[in-house]
Amino acid sequence: MEQVRAPRPVIRPPPPAALDRRLKQRLARGSEPIDARVDLHGLTQAEAHDLLVRFVRSASAQGARVVLVITGKGGGAGPGGERGVLRRQVPHWLEAPELCNHVIGFAAAHVTHGGDGALYVRLRRQKS
């Protein structure tokens, strides 16, 4: 009789966490660099999602540590009458399986970098 082996468990990184207070302070003061930034506001959800995935993967591959994702605050109502769709969706996208291998954590940006309309995203170092 053949012995059936259980499938290997898939090892996933922990879900993204909030950034620590000191890192946020250093980013706000400018003593910690923002390695790259992407502006998503004005795009449809599909366009924004595709751009975010490409941007995070590219920035991570280039060794970026912290990036700024600008979503906008959602000032105008879209075709469905919703406001701030990207602002609500981007955190979910950052936690999704396609990006969780790249993202350590994220938090709302300081007012000087867009406040509630932007996120600081800390990226994992990629293994060589």
Task: Provide the residue ranges of all domains of the chain, joining segments of one domain with +.
Answer: 21-123
pTM: 0.81
Burial letters 59-92, b for 16+ CB under 10 A, else e? bbeeebbbbbbbbbebeeeeeeeeebbbbebbbe
Q: Give the pair of three-digit tokens for residue 77.
A: 């109502």
Per-residue pLDDT of the chain in tens (128 residues, 90 and over written 9): 567 777 766 556 666 777 888 988 898 898 999 999 999 988 999 999 999 999 999 999 999 999 999 998 876 555 555 568 888 999 999 999 889 889 999 999 989 888 889 999 999 887 65
Q: Are 59 and 120 in contact (CB under 8 A)?
A: no
Fold (topology level) of 21-123? Ribosomal Protein S8; Chain: A, domain 1 (3.30.1370)
